[in-house]
Amino acid sequence: MIILKSALYTAFVTYDNDANAKLQNNETKPMDNALYRDYPYFADIQVMIFIGFGCLLAFFRLYGFSGMVFNFLTATFAIQWAILVQGYFQFSHAGKIHLGVINLINAEFACAVVLISFGAVLGKTSPVQLLVMALLEVPVFSVNEWAALKYLRINDAGGSILIHLFACYFGLGVTFVLYRPRLNEGHAKENTSYQSDILSVVGTLFLWVFWPSFNSALTLKGDDQHRAILHTFIALSSSTLTAFALSTMLNKNGKITMADIQNVTLAGGVTVGASVDMMISPAAAYALGVMGCAACMLGYKYLSPFLARHLRIQDQCGIHNLHGLTGLISCAAGICAILTIFTVFSTMGVAALGGILTGFVLKLPYLASPSDDLCFD
């Protein structure tokens, strides 16, 4: 186990030495304003990735002494890897990757994709499997993103298609291959404590608070970015209120469940993504938030059990509801040019196929074998 891991890290360090060689003569002379335009959004997204996702994962004791630490490791790994892969496809000129804060933002988006996909398989994969999944997902994501932006020239400011839909269908592809029938009856270790609930609410709140920065980081500057921030805030807030209302109505005794708060309140941020910088009017943003929330809530209640039982898709954290259904609504709401529709389906196809292949890699005997208890503890 240790040997495998050190092999993994040795391979990784070598690869990064290559990267260094590529970057070495790099002329890093960014425009003054590029930094000041991008850095505040980068800082916010840093908080979302490391604190927000970290706290959300804190409740998972399977990944060793703290899901937060595992999130720390994976996020750093994925960002570094994405800087290189995306750099190769999108930011290389004359054989050099030109590095700026904007690359870091793009790499953190790739990292978010990986962390979202994890949601489908958390609890039935070992840490090493998850690292391999990150290793494989980043290139597939980068190629799909590069192709869509370069050849199809679609507008997807908030990343509903290229981030959320991709992450969702990749994750579903992986979980489809890793199907474990016995898990449908529930698992003894899935319960959480009062303390871990508090932590994951804090994580949700950090994601909620900085989501406008996430959705607007890559828009055009000026009024486009202003609209993106307003729409994201409005959609998040309407989806939050809808989530509380629906949670009260759908659950017995009018109790609000923790899972609803943690997941469904964020649905509006995804739903508004594909059209976040357009002149869709605040009212439309509000409606998108409500619709996304309703779809997400109903998905948790009816679609997830259906997928698990009949299609062999066990979606542990329900990413199909929070990122799949809402992503589709978002795309429908964006101006549906032929190319956008094509991008939606090709992204879903590429993601699902990549996920399925990754799933088979993860099933290779020497990856699946490590006992989780020995690895991180």
Scanning residues 195 to 224, which ones bind its own copies (CB under 8 A)?
A: 195, 197-199, 201-202, 205-206, 208-210, 212-213, 221-223
End-to-end CA distance of the chain: 14
- Of 77-106, binders to its own copies (CB under 8 A) are 77, 79-80, 99-101, 104
Of residues 169 and 206, the one with the C-beta less far from its own copies: 206
The region of 146-154, 235-243, 324-332, 334-342 touching its own copies under the rule CB under 8 A is 235-243
Please, which residue, 176 or 208, has the CB nearer to its own copies?
A: 208
The three-state secondary structure class of 146 is: helix
| Closer CB to its own copies, 149 or 202, in the complex | 202
Contact 157, 228 (CB under 8 A): yes
Q: Which residues 46-75 are close enough to bind its own copies by CB under 8 A?
A: 46-47, 50-51, 54-55, 58, 64-66, 68-69, 72-73
Closest separation in Å from C-beta 342 to its own copies: 30
**How many other CB atoms sit within 10 Å of the CB of residue 91?**
16
Number of residues that bind its own copies (CB under 8 A): 97
- Give the span between the Cα atoms of 242 and 286, in whole angstroms: 11
Q: Is the CB of 177 or the CB of 241 nearer to its own copies? A: 241
Find the part of the chain contacting its own copies (CB under 8 A) among 143-151, 226-234, 291-299, 316-324: 226-234
Residues 276-315 binding its own copies (CB under 8 A) are 279, 281-283, 286-287, 290
Q: Which residues contact 111 (CB under 8 A, 6 or more apart)?
A: 49, 75, 78, 79, 82
Which of residues 24 and 182 has its CB atom nearest to its own copies in the complex?
24
Supply 198's token pair: 């508090």
Structure tokens at 164: 């959320």
- Taking CA atoms, 269 is separated from 120, 143, 212, in Å, by 19, 25, 8
For the bound state, the minimum distance from the C-beta of residue 187 to its own copies, rounded and expressed in Å, comes to: 21
**SS3 (DSSP) at 88:** helix
DSSP 93: E
188 binds its own copies (CB under 8 A): no
Residues between 104 and 123 that touch its own copies (CB under 8 A): 104
Based on the shown chain and the rule CB under 8 A, indicate whether residue 271 belongs to the binding site for its own copies: no
Identify the H or E element spanning 287. Answer: helix 282-298
Residue of 95, 186, 254, 365 interacting with its own copies (CB under 8 A) = 254
Contacts of its own copies in 6-45 (CB under 8 A): 6, 9, 12-13, 16, 19-21, 23-26, 28-30, 32, 34-35, 39-40, 43-44
Identity of the amino acid at 262: Q
Q: Which amino acid is at 253?
A: N
Q: Compute the Cα dihedral for 101, 106, 108, 109 and give only its sign.
A: positive
CB 198, min distance to its own copies, A = 6
Closest to its own copies by CB, 80 vs 346, is 80
List strand residue ranges (DSSP E) for the chain, in order.
92-93, 96-97
Closest CA to 119 of 162, 67, 160, 72: 67
Q: Does 372 bind its own copies (CB under 8 A)?
A: no
- Residue 304 in contact with residue 318, Cβ under 8 Å? yes
* Among positions 62, 172, 261, 351, the unique one binding its own copies when judged by CB under 8 A: 261
